[in-house]
Structure 1
Amino acid sequence: MSVLLQLIKGEKSYGDQLLLDDADVTLYENVKVGFVGRNGAGKSTLLRVLLGTEELDSGELVQSPNLNVGYLRQHDPFLPGESALDFLMRDSNQPDWKCGAVAGQFELKGAYLEGPISALSGGWQTRVKLASLLLHEPNLLLLDEPTNFLDLRTQILLEHFLRNFNQACLIVSHDRSFLEQTCTHTLELSRGKLTMYPGPIEDFLEYREERREHDERINAAVEAKQKQLKRFIDKNRANASTASQAKSKSKQLERLQTIEIEADEAIANIRCPRVEPRQGPAVRCEHVAIGYPDHIVASDINLEIEHGERAAIVGDNGQGKTTLLRSLVDSLEPIKGTVKWGFGCEIGVYAQHVYSTLPPDQTVLDYLDYQAKPGTTTQEILAAAGSMLFRGGHTKKKISVLSGGERARLCMAGILLGTYNVLILDEPGNHLDVETIESLTEALKKYEGTVIFTSHDRHFMQSLATSVIEVRDGHVRNYGGDYGAYLYSVNKEIDEGERERNAKSKTAPQTLTAQPEKKSQSDWKEERRLQKEISKLEKSIARLDDKKKELSEKLANTPDPEEAMKVHTELTSVQEELTEAEDRWCELQEM
C-alpha cells in the first residue's frame, strides 16, 4: 500500500501543555482510520497540522505527490439564494448530471436539491457538503466529529457513503457505533503519543484492556521472582561457599525489569441522584399539539411514559424532538391539549441551551454550591466536582474559560447534585468523550428514576433505552419495538431507496459509467493465487488466536514465577506471529 501522509517525530505544545510528543503516524491509501482520544488531547490540532493550517514546533510532515485531501468544512460555504445543485456545480466545476447523481447518494433530490439551500436544516446542509467532497474525488478524507448534530438517517447515509468510498479516511469521533461501522483501523492520541491499532474500535478497546491486565500479571510474576532472588542473595552472599551463586543471582536480578504501566487517565465517575422507585405514569399527554404560533410541529399527541422508563425520543432533525422535550417541561407551552406530570415528580433538565448559558463570572465551585440541594456539605460538593474531573485548582476556574466539554460536565454535575426523580436529557453526549459517555451510560442504567432523552449516539441509545418514542411527519407515537428494531427499520428504508436508485442508474446512458475491463487469464490466475493465500492466512490467524487465548488463560493461572515467564515469552512470540499474519491479510485484501 502506498503512503499518503506521514508524521515523523512530531512535537506540538500550547503553553505548558504538550499535545504531540515525538509522535509518529503513517496513513496509507484505502485505509479508513478511526481517531480517538480524550477531550483536549489534541486530535483537532493534529488534523490542522495534517491539513497544513497549523505548524509543528518540530518534526516532519511528508506528503505523497498524489495526495488530494478532502476536509468536511464546519463553516457554511454557500452563497445567498443558491440551491444545493447550484452550489455543487460551482464548488466542484462538474456538470449538473454528475452533481445530481452524487447528490442522490445522500437523498438530495427535488426541492432539497433545487430549492434554496438556506431553507435546509443543518443535517441536510451537511449532506450537501458531503456530496461536494465526493465530487472533488479526494484520496484522503479528514472528518472531525462528522456525526455531531446529525440525525440517525443522515448518520447511516454517511456510513454507507464511507463504506463505499474506496479511498483513505481519518475520522475523529466519540461515536463508537459509527467508528465500528466505518473504520478498519484505530488511532489513539494519549499523553502526546500516537498509537495505531490494525483493527476497529471495539477490538482496540478490548486489546488495550487485555494488554494492561497482561502487563500487570507479568509485573506480579517479575516482582515475585525479584523477592525470591533477593532472599537468596541476602542469605548467601556472606557465605564463602555460596558467594559465587549469590553473585550470579545478583546479575539475574539486575536483568529482571518490570513493564512500565502508565497511570490511568482520569475518568468521570458519574453518580445519579438516589431516589425512591415509583409506580404508574410519570407523564401523560392528552390530545396535545406542539409548535409555535405560526407553525404546528406535531398534533393529536396521546402519550404516556411510566415511572422508571428510559424513553428515547427519535426522529430526523427538524421533526420536533427538542420541541417535544421543551413542551414536556413547560419551557414551551403546548398549542393545544394537556401535559400532566405525576404527583411528586421533580424534574432536572440538561439541554444545550442550558450549558451554553451558564453564568460566566461564577467559578465551578460557586455554580455547584448554588445548584446543590439545601444541606449539601462542601465536601459533598467537592466530591461531585471531582467525579466530573474538576479537582484541585480546577474548582476555582471561572465558567467563562471552560471548554464546551467542561461546561457540559459541570451542568451534568449540577443536575446530579439535586434530588430529581425525572431527568430530561437533550443530547447529553455532545462534547463528552468516549469514557465519559460510558460512565454516564452506566450511571443512568442504575438510576431508579425516569429518563426521557434524545441522542445521536447509537451506542448510548441502544445501551440505555427501554422504550422508543418516534417523532415523524407531524405525529408522535410509541414505537412498537426496541431501539434495535428502530435502527433496523431506518436501515431498511435507506437500503430500499438505494436499490431503487441503483435500478434506475442501470437504465442511464452507458456513457455515464465506465465499463469494467475484462480480466485476462493471468489476472484470473493471480486472483485465485491471492484467494488461496488469504484462505491459508485465515486458518492460521484462527489457530494463532486460539493459541493466544489458551496461553493468556495459562498465564493468568500460573503461580510459579519461572513458569509464568516461560509462558509470557511464548505468548509474546505468538502475538508477534499473529500481528504479522493479520498485516499480511490486510495487504492481500487491499490487493
Structure 2
Amino acid sequence: MSVLLQLVKGEKSYGDQMLLDQADVTLYENVKVGFVGRNGAGKSTLLRVLLGEEDLDSGEIIRSPDLRIGYLRQHDPFQPGESAMDFLLRDSGQPDWKCGAVAGQFELKGDYLEGPISALSGGWQTRVKLAALLLHEPNLLVLDEPTNFLDLRTQILLEHFLRGFNQACLIVSHDRSFLSQTCSETLELSRGKLTMYPGQIEAFLEYRQERKEHDERINAAVEAKQKQLQRFIDKNRARASTASQAKSKSKQLERLQLVDIAAEEAVAHIRVPSVEPRKGPAVRCEGMAIGYPNNTVAKDITLEIEHGERAAIVGDNGQGKTTLLRTLVESLKPVEGEVRWGYGCEIGTYAQHVYSSLPPDQTVVEYLDYVAKPGTTTQELLAGAGAMLFRGGHTKKKVSVLSGGERARLCLAGLLLGTYNILVLDEPGNHLDVETIESLLDALADYEGTVIFTSHDRHFMKRLATSVIEVRDGHVRNYGGDYESYLYAVNIEIDDGERERNSRAKSSPGVEQAAQPTRTQADWKEEKKLQREISKLEKTIARLDDRKRELNDKLANTPDASEAMKVHEELTEVQTQLTEAEDRWLELQSE
C-alpha cells in the first residue's frame, strides 16, 4: 500500500498545553481510520495541521503527489437561492447526469435536488455536501464528527457510501456504532501521542483496558520481587559469607524495571438524582396534535409512557421529534388535546442546543448555584462540578470560554443536581466524548425514574432504550419492537431504495452502476456474525503478540540451554498461531 499522508515527529502546543508531542502517524491508500480521543485532546487541531490550515511548531508533514483530500466542512458553501443540483454542477464541474447519479446515492431527488437548498434541514444539506465531495473523486476523505445532528437514515446512507468508497478515510467521531460500521483501524490521540491500532474501535477499547490491566499485574509482580530482593540484600550484605550473594541480588534488583503506565485521565462520574421508584403511567396523550400556528406536524397522537421506562423518540430529522419533546414538557402548547402527567412528576429537561444559551458571564459554580434546588450547599455544588470534571480553578471559569463539550457537561451537572424523577433528554450525547457517554449510560441504567430521550448515537440507543416511539409522516406511534428491530427495518427500507435506484440507473443512458443484491435479515445477521468473529480475532492477535514479545524477552535473558529450548519451542508455536489468526483476519476482512 502506498503512503498518502505522513506526520513525522510533530509538535504543537497552545500556551502550556502540549497537543502533539513527537507524534507520528501514517495514512495509507484504501485504509479507513477512526480517529478518537478525549474532548480537548487536539483532534481538530491535528486535522487542521494535516489539511495545511495550521503549521506545526516542529516536525514534518509528508504528502503524496497523488493526494486528493475531500474535507467535510461545517460551514455552508451554498449560494443564496441555488438548488442542490445547481450547487453540485457549480462546485464539481461535472455533467448533470453524473451529479444526478451521485446525488441519488444519498436519496437526493425531486424537490430535494431541484428545490432551494435553504429549505433543506441540516441533515439533508450534509447529504448535498457529501455528494459534492464524491464528485471531486478524492482518495482521502476527512470527516470531522459527521454524524452530529444526522438522523438514523442519513447515518446509514453515509455508512453504505463509506463502505462502498474504495479510498482512504480519516473519521473523527465519538459514535462507536458508526466507527464500527465504517473503519477497519483506530487512531487515538492521548497526551500528545498518536497510537494506531490495527482493528476496530470496540476491539481497541477492550485491548486498551486489557493492556492496562496486564501492565498493572506485571508491575505488581515486579514490586513484590523488588521487595524480596531488597530484604535479602539488607539482611546479607554485611556478612562476609553472603556478601557476594547480596551483590548478585543487587544486580538483579537494578535490572528489574516497572512498566511505565500513564496516569489515568480524568473520567466524569455522573450521579443521577436519587428518587423513589413509581408504577403506572407517567404521561398520557389522547387525540393530541402537535406543531405551530398554521403548521400541524403530527396529529391523532395517542401515547402512554410508564414510570421507569426508557422511551426513545426516533424518526428522521424534520419529522417532529423535538416538537414532540417540547410539547411533552409543556414548553410548546399542543395544537389539539392535552398532555397529562401523573401525580408527583418532577420533570428535568436537557435541550439539544441548551448549552449555546448559557449565561456567558457566569462561572461554572455560579451557574450550578443558580440552577440547583434551594438549599444545595457549596460542598454539594463543588461535588457536582467535580463529577463532571470541573475541579480546582476550572470551577471559576466563565461559561464564555468553555468548549462545546464542557458546556454540555455543565448543563448535565445542573440537571443532575435536582430531584427530578422524569428526565427528558434531547441529544444528550452530542459533544460528549466516548468515556463521558459511557459514564452517562451507566448512571441512567441505575436511575429509578423515567427517561424520555432522543439520540442519533446507536450505541447509546441500544444500551438505554426499553421502548421505541416513532415520529413519521405526521403520526406518532409506539413502534412495538426493540431498537434492534427498528434499526433492521430502516436498513431494509434503505436497501429497497438502493435496489430501486440501481434498477433505474441500469435503464438510464450514461449511467453505469451495478445492481445490489437483495439483503435479507439472514444476510444482516451473517454480517454481524462476521464482525463479531473479526473483533474476537483482533483480541486474539493482540494477546498472541503480547505473548510473543514476552517470550522474546525471556529468551534473551535465559542462560540455561534446556530452558531456552523450551522457550524457543513455545515461541515457535505462538508465532504459528499468530500467523494463522492474521491469515483468518485477512480472509474475513475480504469477505
Does TM, normalized by the shorter one, top 0.5?
yes
How far apart are 1:353 and its partner, in Å?
A: 3.7
Quick one: which amino acid aligns to residue 228 of structure 2? Q
CA distance in 2, matches of 1:391, 1:575: 47
SS at match of 2:258: coil
1:269-280 to 2 correspondences below 5 Å: 269-280=269-280
Q: Deviations over 1:414-448 (max 9, x none)?
A: 11000000011001001110000000011001101
Partner of 2:40: 40
Quick one: which amino acid aligns to residue 245 of structure 1? Q
Query: Structure 1 pair 337/192, CA: closer, same or farther in 2 (3 Å)?
Result: same
1:137 to 2:137 alignment: yes
How far apart are 1:576 and its partner, in Å?
A: 7.9
CA distance in 2, matches of 1:199, 1:505: 36
SS at match of 1:289: strand
1:151-300 to 2 correspondences below 5 Å: 151-300=151-300
Query: Structure 1 pair 376/544, CA: closer, same or farther in 2 (3 Å)?
Result: closer
Quick one: which amino acid aligns to residue 235 of structure 1? K
Partner of 1:389: 389
SS at match of 1:134: helix
Q: Deviations over 1:192-220 (max 9, x none)?
A: 00000000000000000000010011111
Query: Structure 1 pair 542/44, CA: closer, same or farther in 2 (3 Å)?
Result: closer
How far apart are 1:505 and its partner, in Å?
A: 2.6
How far apart are 1:488 and its partner, in Å?
A: 0.4
Question: Unmatched 5+ residue regions in structure 2?
Answer: 515-533, 552-557
CA distance in 2, matches of 1:41, 1:542: 26
CA distance in 1, matches of 2:140, 2:443: 38
How far apart are 1:83 and its partner, in Å?
A: 1.2
8 A Cα contact 1:88 1:132, kept in partner: yes
8 A Cα contact 1:311 1:451, kept in partner: yes
Quick one: which amino acid aligns to residue 347 of structure 1? I
8 A Cα contact 1:548 1:574, kept in partner: no
Question: After alignment, is 32-41 or 400-409 more displaced?
Answer: 400-409
Query: Structure 1 pair 8/210, CA: closer, same or farther in 2 (3 Å)?
Result: same
Query: Structure 1 pair 205/575, CA: closer, same or farther in 2 (3 Å)?
Result: farther
How many residues are paired up? 557
Partner of 1:127: 127
Quick one: which amino acid aligns to residue 306 of structure 2? E
SS at match of 1:356: helix
8 A Cα contact 2:5 2:63, kept in partner: yes
Partner of 1:535: none
How far apart are 1:543 and its partner, in Å?
A: 12
CA distance in 1, matches of 2:407, 2:538: 46
1:114 to 2:119 alignment: no
Partner of 1:315: 315
How far apart are 1:378 and its partner, in Å?
A: 1.5
Question: After alignment, is 485-494 or 401-410 more displaced?
Answer: 401-410
SS at match of 2:148: coil
Partner of 2:71: 71
SS at match of 1:336: coil
1:178-577 to 2 correspondences below 5 Å: 178-509=178-509, 512-513=511-512, 545=541, 548=544
CA distance in 2, matches of 1:548, 1:4: 30
CA distance in 1, matches of 2:229, 2:573: 29
Partner of 1:519: none
Query: Structure 1 pair 68/551, CA: closer, same or farther in 2 (3 Å)?
Result: closer
How far apart are 1:85 and its partner, in Å?
A: 1.0
SS at match of 2:338: strand
Question: Unmatched 5+ residue regions in structure 1?
Answer: 516-537, 556-561
How far apart are 1:568 and its partner, in Å?
A: 11
8 A Cα contact 2:69 2:142, kept in partner: yes
How far apart are 1:374 and its partner, in Å?
A: 2.2
CA distance in 2, matches of 1:542, 1:49: 31
Query: Structure 1 pair 549/196, CA: closer, same or farther in 2 (3 Å)?
Result: closer
SS at match of 2:239: coil
CA distance in 1, matches of 2:208, 2:181: 20
How far apart are 1:586 and its partner, in Å?
A: 7.4
SS at match of 1:428: coil
Quick one: which amino acid aligns to residue 250 of structure 2? S
Query: Structure 1 pair 176/572, CA: closer, same or farther in 2 (3 Å)?
Result: farther
Quick one: which amino acid aligns to residue 117 of structure 1? I
8 A Cα contact 1:551 1:571, kept in partner: no
Quick one: which amino acid aligns to residue 254 of structure 1? E
8 A Cα contact 2:307 2:450, kept in partner: yes
TM-score, normalised by the number of residues in structure 2: 0.89
Q: Deviations over 1:102-129 (max 9, x none)?
A: 1111001111111111111110110010
SS at match of 1:179: helix
CA RMSD of aligned residues (A): 2.8
Q: Deviations over 1:359-413 (max 9, x none)?
A: 1121111111222222222111111110000000111111111111111111110
How far apart are 1:474 and its partner, in Å?
A: 0.3
Query: Structure 1 pair 31/590, CA: closer, same or farther in 2 (3 Å)?
Result: farther
Partner of 1:527: none
SS at match of 1:143: strand
How far apart are 1:291 and its partner, in Å?
A: 0.6
1:149 to 2:118 alignment: no
Q: Deviations over 1:239-265 (max 9, x none)?
A: 222211211111111001010111110
Q: Deviations over 1:65-85 (max 9, x none)?
A: 000000002111111111111
How far apart are 1:507 and its partner, in Å?
A: 3.0
SS at match of 1:287: strand
Quick one: which amino acid aligns to residue 304 of structure 1? E
Question: After alignment, is 86-95 or 367-376 more displaced?
Answer: 367-376
Q: Deviations over 1:40-60 (max 9, x none)?
A: 000000000000011101000
Quick one: which amino acid aligns to residue 489 of structure 1? A
Query: Structure 1 pair 18/584, CA: closer, same or farther in 2 (3 Å)?
Result: farther
How far apart are 1:508 and its partner, in Å?
A: 3.6
8 A Cα contact 2:368 2:414, kept in partner: yes
How far apart are 1:236 and its partner, in Å?
A: 1.8
Query: Structure 1 pair 52/578, CA: closer, same or farther in 2 (3 Å)?
Result: farther
Question: After alignment, is 567-576 or 47-56 more displaced?
Answer: 567-576
SS at match of 1:75: coil
1:577-588 to 2 correspondences below 5 Å: none
8 A Cα contact 1:32 1:170, kept in partner: yes
Query: Structure 1 pair 220/53, CA: closer, same or farther in 2 (3 Å)?
Result: same
How far apart are 1:502 and its partner, in Å?
A: 2.1
SS at match of 1:337: coil
CA distance in 1, matches of 2:513, 2:497: 23
Partner of 1:7: 7
Partner of 1:558: none
CA distance in 2, matches of 1:543, 1:432: 27
SS at match of 1:279: coil
Partner of 2:527: none
Percentage of matched positions with identical amino acids: 77
8 A Cα contact 1:34 1:201, kept in partner: yes
Query: Structure 1 pair 547/457, CA: closer, same or farther in 2 (3 Å)?
Result: closer
Query: Structure 1 pair 574/25, CA: closer, same or farther in 2 (3 Å)?
Result: farther
SS at match of 1:46: helix
CA distance in 2, matches of 1:191, 1:576: 33
CA distance in 2, matches of 1:187, 1:543: 16
How far apart are 1:578 and its partner, in Å?
A: 7.1
Query: Structure 1 pair 549/138, CA: closer, same or farther in 2 (3 Å)?
Result: closer
TM-score, normalised by the number of residues in structure 1: 0.89
Query: Structure 1 pair 542/397, CA: closer, same or farther in 2 (3 Å)?
Result: closer
SS at match of 1:8: strand
Query: Structure 1 pair 186/549, CA: closer, same or farther in 2 (3 Å)?
Result: closer
Partner of 2:525: none
